[in-house]
């Protein structure tokens, strides 16, 4: 399985040599969705000219999104679901033309599931700065070439202001709920603070109120891995001959990220000190099975993502500070009107439970008082993409409230 998010989840312990060979062929310079590619199930909303927090602007922004279920005549059943770092608008359908991977929350969104599309109308956008249909670095700028590294510095607040255009596009005045994990959870918080009268409920899953120095450091080394690739060319690689893009740097950044998404115990239990099947550990040139796993996912990632986009979105995560310009995080959270569910994962080493404890402590109306719900999972940060029963039970509880 390949969840189209910032976390790949593979239930089996080993990656075969055949699987590795299958992703070692030469990819295109970028894995971004491009104009002329199959549209698939995407819809688009034109946001128009857009000014970023940085003071920069672009003359036209477009968001890609998908919808699931039916909007009620009263227009009171719309839920916004926000993806994590490398996700997109595909929540639950299989890979198909226009959509390179399977949906990333198939156990939570659909008929009869916790976010029941027989009851709820679900909207899932690709975020501003993304590379699966929304305006971002791989989009064409007014001069006829890709924005590349020229794309404006983008913040979580910018992304939420762009998403706000979906309300008008769909004829809505509020969301029944806004739900998201990881980077999507950052956007959930921003929605609740920036547009408090337009959000009834929020689910913040495995996300912080502000990125810490440790989290920024983890992102910064990934950014440098991409920029250090000699084929990055300062972000101008889209027309490189023979698709020679910065694949090594992007794959290395992905490998680094995967180490933060899983818990040490899960990797140790799955791989131990096993060697790749069929390779003599004393014969030279061998690899540990965990190295094979990281290689496979790093190389596969380059076929569905864009290096400039990855840099843009990591910098957006680094910028995340709900209290910026609002008197601090506590003051910002105190202004939230929505009924809130806050979920942490006990083994999450990227956004540990202390982050969710701070959020829950300062929100005015949570389901569980001043404490988050803490899910026990061996999968670390990836737990919000794998533990469908546990996460789904909590979201269902929020939607029933």
Encode burial over 119-138: b for 16+ CB neighbours within 10 A, e otherwise.
Answer: ebbbbbbbbbbbbbbbbbbb
| Separation of alpha carbons 265 and 246, rounded Å | 32
Q: What pLDDT is stored for residue 244 in this prediction?
A: 86
- Model confidence over 143-158: pLDDT tens digits? 999 999 999 999 999 9
Closest CA to 368 of 346, 394, 330: 394
Q: In the Cβ-directed half-sphere of 117, how many Cα atoms lie within 13 Å? A: 19
Q: What pLDDT is stored for residue 27 in this prediction?
A: 65
Which single residue is written with the structure tokens 């059943």? 77
Phi, psi angles (nearest 5°) of residue 202: -135, 145
The dihedral built from the CA positions of residue 166, 302, 210 and 129, taken in this order, carries a sign that is negative
Domains in the chain with CATH codes: 17-399 (3.40.50.1820)
Crossing angle of helices 264-271/289-301, nearest 10°? 110
The stretches in the chain having pLDDT less than 50 are: 1-24
Tokens describing residue 13: 């312990």
Do residues 220 and 319 make contact, with C-beta atoms less than 8 angstroms apart?
no
25 Cβ neighbours under 8 A, 6+ residues apart? none
- Model confidence over 224-277: pLDDT tens digits? 999 999 999 999 999 987 778 999 999 999 999 988 998 877 777 777 777 765
Q: What pLDDT is stored for residue 284 in this prediction?
A: 58
Q: What pLDDT is stored for residue 286 in this prediction?
A: 67
Give burial (CB, 10 Å; 0-12/13-18/19+) of 384.
buried
| Separation of alpha carbons 326 and 253, rounded Å | 33
Q: What pLDDT is stored for residue 205 in this prediction?
A: 98
The 3-state DSSP class for residue 48 equals strand
Q: What pLDDT is stored for residue 282 in this prediction?
A: 59
- How much is the pTM? 0.91
Looking at the annotation, which residues are catalytic? 182, 348, 381
| Separation of alpha carbons 239 and 235, rounded Å | 11
Do residues 360 and 368 make contact, with C-beta atoms less than 8 angstroms apart?
yes
Count of residues making up the chain: 401
Q: What pLDDT is stored for residue 298 in this prediction?
A: 78
342 Cβ neighbours under 8 A, 6+ residues apart? 204, 356, 359, 360, 363, 366, 368, 372, 373
- Model confidence over 130-145: pLDDT tens digits? 999 999 999 999 999 9
């Amino acid at each position: 399985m390949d969840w189209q998010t910032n976390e790949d989840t593979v239930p089996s312990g080993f990656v075969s040599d055949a699987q590795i060979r299958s992703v070692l062929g030469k990819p295109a310079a970028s894995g971004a969705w491009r104009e002329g590619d199959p549209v698939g199930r995407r819809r688009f909303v034109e946001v128009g000219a857009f000014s970023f927090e940085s003071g920069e602007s672009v003359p036209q922004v477009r968001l890609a999104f998908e919808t699931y279920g039916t909007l009620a005549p009263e227009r009171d059943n719309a839920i916004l679901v926000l993806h994590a770092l490398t996700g997109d608008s595909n929540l639950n359908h299989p890979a198909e033309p226009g959509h390179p991977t399977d949906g990333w929350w198939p156990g939570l969104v659909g008929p009869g599931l916790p976010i029941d599309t027989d009851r709820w109308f679900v909207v899932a956008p690709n975020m501003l700065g993304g590379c699966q249909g929304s305006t971002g670095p791989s989009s064409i700028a007014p001069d006829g070439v890709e924005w590349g590294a020229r794309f404006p510095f983008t913040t979580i607040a910018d992304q939420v202001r762009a998403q706000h255009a979906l309300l008008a596009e769909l004829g809505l005045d509020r969301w029944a709920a806004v739900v998201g994990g990881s980077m999507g959870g950052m956007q959930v918080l921003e929605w609740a603070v920036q547009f408090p009268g337009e959000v009834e409920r929020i689910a913040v899953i495995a996300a912080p109120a502000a990125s810490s120095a440790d989290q920024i450091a983890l992102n910064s080394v990934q950014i440098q891995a991409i920029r250090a690739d000699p084929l990055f060319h300062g972000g101008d690689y889209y027309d490189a001959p023979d698709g020679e893009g910065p694949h090594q740097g992007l794959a290395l950044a992905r490998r680094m990220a995967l180490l933060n998404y899983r818990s040490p115990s899960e990797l140790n239990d799955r791989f131990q000190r096993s060697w790749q099947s069929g390779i003599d550990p004393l014969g030279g040139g061998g690899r540990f099975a965990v190295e094979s796993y990281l290689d496979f996912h790093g190389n596969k990632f380059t076929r569905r993502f864009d290096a400039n986009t990855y840099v843009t979105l990591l910098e957006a995560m680094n910028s995340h500070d709900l209290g910026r310009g609002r008197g601090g995080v506590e003051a910002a959270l105190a202004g939230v009107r929505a009924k809130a569910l806050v979920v942490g994962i006990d083994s999450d080493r990227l956004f540990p439970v202390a982050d969710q404890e701070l959020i829950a402590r300062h929100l005015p109306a949570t389901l569980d008082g001043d404490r988050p719900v803490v899910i026990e999972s061996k999968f670390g940060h990836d737990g919000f993409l794998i533990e469908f029963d546990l996460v789904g039970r909590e979201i269902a509880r929020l939607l029933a409230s």
